[in-house]
Amino acid sequence: MDVLFTIVAKEILKGSVVGFFRDEIEFGSRALGNRSILASPRDGNMRKKLNLIVKKREGFRPFAPSVTLEDSKRYFDIKEPVPYMNVVVKTKVKYLPAATHIDGTSRVQTVTEEQNALYYKLLKEVGKITGIPVILNTSFNLKDQTITISPEQALSRFLNSDIDVLVLNNYLIFKK
């Protein structure tokens, strides 16, 4: 499992877009790490790439950063945990342009090991490799589709999009 997270963290660092399909689906209006498209928040062109090429929607639409709870106050003006990505806060740093809206805010998600152990572990690995335990997170769906529910949908959407890598539970699938 550790190898999987190291590979995914390195892919995010090099600019890959990762479809992430793990375990049970989240309940609610946000993808919280189990049905997500993940990417680097540090790449200033990533928002455009995700909106126009992957999700095929308007370019102004922002994406949310996920961050470990213990590191969240270093990057965001957070008063309390935000586990459901339901609060917009000021971003404290300039080097997360893909996860920061034009007004300097982000709809952040704080992640703990108790809340989602595997996603937390991935954030920690990204932090170890990049120095910043923050991942750009958007729901695993494409234009005019609901969130990805089944492994078959995940594979089909991966193959019919510009997503570079698919994590399908414990499997990694790469495009040529």
Distance (Å, rounded) from C-alpha 26 to C-alpha 90?
Answer: 26
Fold of 2-174: DHBP synthase (3.90.870)
pTM to 2 decimal places: 0.93
Q: What is the pLDDT of residues 19-56, one digit of tens each?
A: 999 988 877 767 899 999 999 999 989 988 887 777 77
Q: Of 140, 143, 145, which Cα lies nearest the Cα of 168?
A: 140
Q: Of 4, 2, 12, which Cα lies nearest the Cα of 131?
A: 12
How buried is residue 33: exposed, middle or buried, by Cβ count under 10 Å (0-12/13-18/19+)? Answer: buried
Q: What are the residue ranges spanned by the domains of the chain?
A: 2-174
Distance (Å, rounded) from C-alpha 122 to C-alpha 8?
Answer: 8
Q: What is the pLDDT of residues 98-138, one digit of tens each?
A: 999 989 999 999 999 999 999 999 999 999 999 999 999 99
